[in-house]
Each structure stands twice: as structure tokens, then as C-alpha cells.
Amino acid sequence: MKRLGCILLVLFITFLTSQVNAQDFYAANINPDKPTPISTLYLMPNVYPAVVEEGDTIACMWLGDFIKYSPITFRSTKDQIAYSKLIRDVKKTLPYAKEIAGIITETYEYMETLPNDKVRQQHLNKMEKYLTDKYTPKMKKLTRSQGQLLMKLVDRETHSSSYHIIDAFMGSFKAWSANLFAKLFGNDLKARYNPFGEDRVTERVCVLVEQGVV
């Protein structure tokens, strides 16, 4: 059963990276010969404009929205354990989902530049081998529940179900066959991610993980 996550992932990523670096910074005046307070602040790996106020260099940057959730009240120890497990699983699978979303976007855009279906198929075959070699060892380590969560998170990142992704790249028959196989293990490739309904707790955890809160 642990192979399910690998099987399902390979089905749609083969048809078709994020590293966290230690931050460092330094400031430099971009107009040293002109009387201006504007400098450049290098907060690696990004570069921001900055102003100097009374000897202090202040970076000017746009900050994303920060979502604040109310504390959760658990009805039982079992619920608390389940929530902790969800946090663990999201931390493990969300990076894969984001990588898959990037691969899908890049592959689609690149295939649009190819001249015909034959060349496109050749490219897909090369991608299949590369991604299978890269991801199979990682996906084998996923549990069944993590594989199911991964499919939902791929939908979250791409706004497309796993079924739709396979259908778009490989055709309806292969999408139908993959979904039939998934149903043998209690999964549904057509299942959609619903952040305002059944997946609202998962969405909460995803946002907290993205914000670095948990």
C-alpha cells in the first residue's frame, strides 16, 4: 500500500525546485556621486531598494498577507493526535505538490513551442524516465494517507484534479484507466480539493506551514 503514493504520482508527473538558503545581507549606495538617500539592500538571494535614515539602512519591500487563525479546541486527545499527524503529512507532501505544479506549468509551456505531436511525445518520454528515476525512491516512502493527501495538494497548487492532468497530457483512456486502478485502493483521481469544506483543516495547516508558523 505504501507504493500507492509512488504509483499515483508517477502517473501524472511523468506526463507532464525549492531550496531554502541561509540569508545574508549588505547595503551599497547605487548612486555614490549623487546626493540621494536611495541605496540597494542585498538580502540574499533577493535585492531590495533601501533608504538611509539617520545612518540606518531600511529595506523597502512588499510583504505578503499574513493569515491569523484562532486557536483550535480539540474535543479529544484522538483529534489532537490526528491534527499533529496532518501537520507532519502536509510538511512532507506540500513541497512535492509545489514541485509537481511547477513541472506541469513548465512542461505545458515548453510543449506549446514544439512543432508537432511526435516531438511532443518524444519529450514526454524523456520526462517520464527522468521523473521516474528522480521521484520513485522518494514516493515509495509515502504512506497511503500521504499519497491521498498529495493528490489533494496537487489540486490545490494546480487547480486541477489528478484525473484532469492525466487527461490533458495523455488522453481520456489513460486517465480513465489510472482512475480505475486508483479506485481499487479506495482513491479517486477526480476528487477535488475544497478549502472551504472538507479540506478546510488541511488548508489551515498548509497556510501555517507556508508562513513558517508550524
Host H or E run for residue 47: strand 46-53
pTM for the model stands at 0.66
With a cut of 70, say whether residue 5 has pLDDT above it: no
With a cut of 70, say whether residue 46 has pLDDT above it: no
Q: What is the pLDDT of residues 137-187, one digit of tens each?
A: 888 888 888 988 998 999 999 888 888 887 877 778 878 887 787 777 777
Q: Is 50 helix (H, G, I), strand (E, B) or coil?
A: strand
Domain segments of the chain: what residues? 4-17+75-210
Question: Rounded to whole angstroms, what are the CA distances from 201 to 73, 84, 90, 145, 156?
Answer: 13, 12, 11, 15, 13
Taking 3-state DSSP, the helix, strand and coil percentages for the chain, each rounded to the nearest 5, stand at: 55, 10, 35
Residues recorded for the chain: 214
Give the pLDDT score at 173. Answer: 81
Task: Report the pLDDT averaged over residues 29-52.
Answer: 57
With a cut of 80, say whether residue 206 has pLDDT above it: yes
Chain-wide mean pLDDT for the chain? 77
Q: 20-29, 42-51, 160-169, 202-211: lowest mean pLDDT where?
A: 20-29
With a cut of 90, say whether residue 201 has pLDDT above it: yes
Give the pLDDT score at 47. Answer: 67
| Torsion sign (Cα): 197, 166, 108, 137 | positive
Other Cβ atoms less than 10 A from the Cβ of 69: the count is 10
Residues 6 or more apart whose Cβ sits within 8 Å of residue 127: 14, 15, 16, 107
